[in-house]
Amino acid sequence: MVNTRTYILPTSSASYLKFLLVFRLQLNQTLEFHVRCRLYSASWSRPRQVTMLTRCSDRSRNAKRFPVPESLLNDATVQPYVHNCLVTLHEGRRIYQFCIFFKWHCHLRINTILSSDGNVFRGDAAITRVGTSAGSVVNMRGRDNALADFIMHK
């Protein structure tokens, strides 16, 4: 028979064991944050600012954030994978970097936001801002929405 008893040493206290258990759980957890991004959904008539789940490499402030756009983009059964591309925008002396995540497939719904006169875009798209120092995604600020709309319509 397997021994399933838990032995507590006389010198250890319950609070110390609780601390060890919490510390061990924190080491095994992946850190998750939500960052603001702009979503161009085929089911909407206008783009909206939403939050995207990101996972962090460690607990430091300069940790690299890895976005999870699958949680935002629809129709995973038609197309389970997501395309991405990096865009650099130069405006005067300022440089902005954005990462665009999108699904593009002939069986997806027509996106009226991103379709123009001659071009039809089928699917959803999300755009996030990339920080210049760390090179990972950061929250979109006030003017970033206008820049994102400019990028998506070009």
What type of residue sits at position 115? S
Rama region for 117: left / alpha / beta (φ>0; ψ in -120 to 50; rest): alpha
Distances (CA, A) of 106 to 34, 61, 69: 31, 41, 20
pLDDT, one tens digit per residue, over 67-117 is: 989 889 888 788 888 999 999 999 899 999 999 999 988 888 899 899 988
Whether 25 shows a pLDDT value over 50: the answer reads no
Question: DSSP letter at 1?
Answer: -
Distances (CA, A) of 39 to 72, 82, 102, 106, 152: 8, 14, 10, 20, 11
- In this structure, are residues 137 and 130 in contact, taking their beta carbons and an 8 Å threshold? yes
Predicted TM-score (pTM) of the model is 0.76
- What confidence score (pLDDT) does residue 19 get? 46
